[in-house]
Amino acid sequence: MGKAIADRLLEAGARLAIVDVNPEAIKRVAETESRALAILADVSCEDDVRRAVDQTVARFERLDILVNNAGTEIPGTVEELTSKQWDRQFAVNVKGAFLFSKYSIPYIRRQGGAILNIASIDALVSYPGNAAYDSSKAALLAFTRTLAIDHGRDGIRVNAICPGYIDTPLLNSYFERQPNPPEARRAVVAQTPVGRMGTPGEIAEAALFLVSDAASFISGAYLVVDGGISVAGR
């Protein structure tokens, strides 16, 4: 989803700093797109985040949009999860958004702009054996609302997207953990009112809308992009 959002913003004319903990991912960006700055960093590390924001402003001289997309998922009930696993999910999914917002807002405030947090339908409807991930995504929605209240008068709009089942490597890893991966995939499709899973490109279109002037009076909101599965009762 992050790659799709980046590609769509580039198509719309943006210049981007793309942050990833995976050196191979940002290497591809650096090699193929002249308007994108590739930064190797861990979103849960404050020094990394401060450096990433400083590099971005040094390169582009301004910062208008922040998309907090980094996320990780470690399944398990509260009995099964270790404290380290719980902390890691909150460090990436919530603390990462906090740190990037903290260091980006002073620059976004200069001319106004938008912050977009990528949450999940797991913030709204919980799933068995996913205690830390579901909790972290719910926290991200509360964080979205608070940022919108605190920084609306700074000309900063803050919203979130709650994706459903989107055909990504992270989702595929979930299916592979199931006893019968093909059947698990078919079950998800069967439960989704539109009859299929979503694509990263569809999340990217929603992201472009929410950070654009077309959404100039939308703040503190979350947009559910899930094909209707969260209201279907599963």
User: How many CB atoms within 10 Å of residue 63?
Assistant: 20
Which of 91, 78, 68 is closest to 130 using CA atoms?
78
Q: What share of the chain is helix, strand, coil (3-state, %, to 5)?
A: 55, 15, 30
HSE, side-chain direction, 13 A CA sphere, residue 218: 17
**What strands lie across the sheet with 65-68, from one edge to the other?**
65-68, 113-118, 156-163, 222-225
* DSSP codes of every residue in 135-152: HHHHHHHHHHHHHHHHHG
Cβ neighbours of residue 135 closer than 8 Å, sequence gap 6 or more? 90
Catalytic, out of 133, 165, 174, 222: 133
Backbone dihedral region for residue 66 (phi beyond 0: left; psi -120 to 50: alpha; all else: beta)? beta
Tell me, yes or no, if 127 is annotated catalytic.
no
Catalytic residues: 133
